[in-house]
Structure 1
Amino acid sequence: MSFVATVLLVNALTFPIPPGIDPNTPAPIYDSPDLYGAEPSVIALDYSTIRSKLHSLGFQPITDARFVGGRWKIKARYGSKRRALEVDPDSGLIISDRPDRG
């Protein structure tokens, strides 16, 4: 381990806890009752933003969009093929892209 890394590690381990903070209290983590519920969380992208991203990728028209289990379940066409997509509501990334069977 380099000298600089050792100094940074020792400083981090010996840095005093600021007054008024309980070291036994866990750090706040974003949690919400709607995190995996029937509506997007407060930190999620708007549906219109997700729709625009999908359109720019060539998924059009979008025939169905539902928010289920913390993800957007979207049915759309890509060219002449019907696709079933799962989209992350926070980033707009496509988690799953499969042929739509129904």
Structure 2
Amino acid sequence: MSFFATVLLVNALTFPIPADLNANTPAPIYDSPDLYGDEPSVIALDLPAIRGKLHSLGFRPITEVRFIGGRWKIKARYGGKKRALEVDPDSGLIISDRPDRS
């Protein structure tokens, strides 16, 4: 690493701590209605796209679909067994795949 890059890195790591910073105050937690929405955001995949992805992975039939807490809650069968899925609405990735106990 060059001397100039080292100086920049050290400078970035040693910014002074603000005088009004209180160590006893917890950091703010990001809380937004988006996280608990009752409908998908404008950038989310539409439901037919989500269903298509799950069908291509072998989840058939899809028996129940709900949007709760910012995620798709889906009940489907995989290999004849009931599964409870949570799916990210923006990417279509399966966040959780558990046996369905209902």
Q: TM-score, normalised by structure 2?
A: 0.69
In the alignment, structure 1 residue 76 sits paired with structure 2 residue 76:
yes
Tell me, in whole angstroms, the C-alpha distance in 1 between the residues paired with 2:2 and 2:90: 39
Q: 1:64 Cα deviation (Å)?
A: 0.1
Q: CA shift at 1:35, angstroms? A: 4.6
Which amino acid is 2:71 matched to? R
Residue 100 of structure 2 is matched in structure 1 by: 100
Matched to 2:74, the amino acid is I
Structure 1 residue 58 corresponds to structure 2 residue 61? no
Report the CA distance shift for 1:47/1:40 in structure 2 as closer, same or farther (over 3 A): same
Q: What TM-score, normalized by structure 1, do the two folds share?
A: 0.69
Structure 1 residues 15-71: Cα deviation after superposition (integer angstroms, max 9, x where no partner):
xxxxxxxxxxxxxxxxx8445211000110001101000000000100000000000
Counterpart Cα distance in 1 of 2:40 and 2:47: 9
Q: How does 1:1-102 map to 2 (within 5 A)?
A: 1-2=1-2, 6=5, 33-102=33-102
Identity %: 80
Instruction: Output the amino acid matched with 2:64.
Output: D
The one-letter amino acid paired with 1:59 is F
Where does the alignment leave 5 or more consecutive residues of structure 1 unmatched?
14-31
Q: Which runs of 5+ in 2 are unaligned?
A: 13-31
